[in-house]
């Protein structure tokens, strides 16, 4: 198991490097002066032409791309992503302030979707052709067929405007601290975020369960005289999880990408919202770096899911 995790983590390195190369050259190819991205815009404005030339020389911007790439990589490791063209803020600082919010949102969304999706999928497979099954199937069909923001709007109207149970948006009350003051602000966005993945998981888990229930080892388990609940939970469910994990990995980008829409619906200050503002302000470097960041998030979380899959399946762990 340890060896497997190590191998997975090592495999991340080339992927991250490739991503950084893409990002570097994408930024290089952007029109405009590379120097302008290394300092706040007002500071850049204040420089004279001669000073700019000197600054370029001093910062090594005239060096060959390969050298600049490694220098840039080093900066990134120190959290220096350059400056936003529209707000003049340091992009690293912007990210540091917002990324945790998006991670929190996505993580709880993933957790909720997995828990509910697997449970409902399992139930609808075990109680096939009962009310429970029809209920779960209907939910999943609608969850797949409507845009996420629609659910966001409905939740706001229902829970926030009508019932007044939860706030309609934002992050936490002014001046408050701590996890518990955030919870009410998280409930609706997390629910909205989880819907589409939950719907997909219910469907997939059900199919996967039905598939496994037809396998020979289920017959073996039954031939041992085990209870039907033991057969379906211990023998079928665990096996049905393995392909389901692949689905989760495949859907991770969509989950994280959904945060852009959901953060806007709930006015939630995460990086999706940041990217949206940046696109509207024409601040392409910020959008690029944000997109990369979400890519890294997806990469790391899919590694995590892969490790969970390996824990479930000895053939992957030992193979």
Partner 1 sequence: MQENDHILRVQDLKTDFKVGRRTVHAVNGVTFDVRRGKTLCIVGESGCGKSVTAHSIMQLLPPNGTIAGGTISYYTRDGACEILSNYKRSGPRMRAIRGKEISMIFQDPMSTLNPVYTVGSQIMEMLKKHEKVSKAEGKARIIRLLGELGIPNPEIRYDQYPHEFSGGMKQRIMIAIAMICNPTLLIADEPTTALDVTIQAQILDLIRKMQESYGTSVILITHNMGIVVEIADDVAVMYMGRIVEFGSVQQIFSHPVHPYTRALMRSVPVLGMNKDQELAVIEGTTPDASTVFTGCEFAERCECARPECFHRFPKDTEIEAGHRVRCLLYEEGGEENG
Partner 2 sequence: MTIRKKTRNTSLAKRSWQKFIQNRMAILGLIGLVLIIAACLAAPLLTNYDPTLIDPSIRGLSPSREHLLGTDRLGRDIFARILYGGRWSIMIGVIAAMGANLLGAALGCIAGYYGGKVDSVLVSIQEMLSIFPGTLINMLCIGFMGKSVRNLLLIFTFTGWPGVMRIVRGRILSLKQEPYVESCRANGIGGMSIMFHHLLPNTLGPIIVNSTMNVAGYILSEAALSYLGLGVPDNVPTWGNIINAAKRLDIVQTLPMLWLAPAAAICLFVLSINFFGDGLRDALDPSSK
Binding site for partner 1 (CB under 8 A): 214-217, 219-228, 235, 238-239, 242, 312-315, 318-319
Burial of 227 (0-12, 13-18, 19+ CB in 10 A): exposed
Q: How far is the CB of 287 from partner 2 (least distance, A)?
A: 5
Q: How far is the CB of 162 from partner 2 (least distance, A)?
A: 10
Sign of the torsion formed by the C-alpha atoms of 228, 231, 236 and 241: positive
22 binds partner 2 (CB under 8 A): yes
Helix (H, G, I), strand (E, B) or coil at 83: strand
156 binds partner 2 (CB under 8 A): yes
Rounded to the nearest angstrom, the gap between the alpha carbon of residue 180 and the centroid of all alpha carbons in its chain is: 23
Length of the chain: 319
Tell me which stretch binds partner 2 (CB under 8 A): 39-47, 65-73, 150-158, 214-222.
150-158
Tell me which stretch binds partner 2 (CB under 8 A): 70-78, 153-161, 228-236, 239-247.
153-161
Binds partner 2 by CB under 8 A, chosen from 51, 62, 145, 181: 145
Which residue bears the tokens 């992009």?
91
The Cα 213–Cα 101 span in angstroms is 41
**Quick one: what does residue 275 bind among partner 1, partner 2, none, with the CB cut-off 5 to 8 Å set by partner type?**
partner 2
Binds partner 2 by CB under 8 A, chosen from 264, 307, 308, 316: 264
The Cα 178–Cα 200 span in angstroms is 33
Q: How far is the CB of 215 from partner 1 (least distance, A)?
A: 6
DSSP conformational letter for 36: G
Which residue bears the tokens 């096939």?
128
279 binds partner 2 (CB under 8 A): yes
Binds partner 2 by CB under 8 A, chosen from 9, 153, 158, 176: 153
The Cα 143–Cα 159 span in angstroms is 18
Helix (H, G, I), strand (E, B) or coil at 90: strand
285 binds partner 2 (CB under 8 A): no
61 binds partner 2 (CB under 8 A): no
The Cα 82–Cα 284 span in angstroms is 12
214 binds partner 2 (CB under 8 A): no
Q: How far is the CB of 310 from partner 1 (least distance, A)?
A: 11
DSSP H/E element including 278: helix 271-280
Sign of the torsion formed by the C-alpha atoms of 232, 134, 244 and 155: negative
How far from each other are the two terminal CA atoms of the chain, in whole angstroms? 11
274 binds partner 2 (CB under 8 A): no
Whether the CB-CB separation of 263 and 105 falls below 8 Å is answered with yes
Q: How far is the CB of 55 from partner 2 (least distance, A)?
A: 27
**Quick one: what does residue 149 bind among partner 1, partner 2, none, with the CB cut-off 5 to 8 Å set by partner type?**
partner 2
Binds partner 2 by CB under 8 A, chosen from 123, 166, 245, 288: 288
Q: How far is the CB of 4 from partner 1 (least distance, A)?
A: 14
The Cα 283–Cα 124 span in angstroms is 47
Q: Where along the sequence are the contacts to partner 2 (CB under 8 A)?
A: 15, 18-19, 22, 141-142, 144-150, 153, 156-157, 161, 168, 250, 253-254, 256-258, 260-261, 264, 272, 275-276, 278-280, 282, 284, 287-288, 290-291, 294-295, 298-299, 302
């Amino acid at each position: 198991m340890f060896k497997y995790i190590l191998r997975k983590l090592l495999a991340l390195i080339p992927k991250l490097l490739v991503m950084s190369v893409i990002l570097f050259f994408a930024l290089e190819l952007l029109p405009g002066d590379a120097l302008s991205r290394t300092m706040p815009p007002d500071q850049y404005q204040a420089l004279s032409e001669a000073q700019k030339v000197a600054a370029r020389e001093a910062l090594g911007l005239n060096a060959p791309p390969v050298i600049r790439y490694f220098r840039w990589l080093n900066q990134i490791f120190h959290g220096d992503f350059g400056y936003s063209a529209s707000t003049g803020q340091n992009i690293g600082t912007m990210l540091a302030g917002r990324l945790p919010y998006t991670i929190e949102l996505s993580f709880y969304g993933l957790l909720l979707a997995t828990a509910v999706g697997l449970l409902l999928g399992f139930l609808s497979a075990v109680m096939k052709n009962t009310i429970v099954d029809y209920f779960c199937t209907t939910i999943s069909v609608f969850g797949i067929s409507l845009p996420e923001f629609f659910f966001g709007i409905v939740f706001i109207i229902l829970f926030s405007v009508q019932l007044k149970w939860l706030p309609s948006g934002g992050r936490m009350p002014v001046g408050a601290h701590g996890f518990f003051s955030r919870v009410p602000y998280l409930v609706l966005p997390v629910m909205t975020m989880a819907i589409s993945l939950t719907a997909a998981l219910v469907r997939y888990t059900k199919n996967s369960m039905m598939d496994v229930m037809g396998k020979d080892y289920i017959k073996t388990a039954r031939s041992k005289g085990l209870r039907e609940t033991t057969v379906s939970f211990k023998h079928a469910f665990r096996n049905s999880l393995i392909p389901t994990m692949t689905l989760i990995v495949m859907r991770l980008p969509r989950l994280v990408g959904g945060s852009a829409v959901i953060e806007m619906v709930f006015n939630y200050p995460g990086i999706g919202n940041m990217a949206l503002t940046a696109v509207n302000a024409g601040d392409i470097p910020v959008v690029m770096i944000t997109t990369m960041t979400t890519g890294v998030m997806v990469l790391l979380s899919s590694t995590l899911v892969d490790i969970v899959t390996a824990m479930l399946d000895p053939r992957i762990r030992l193979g």
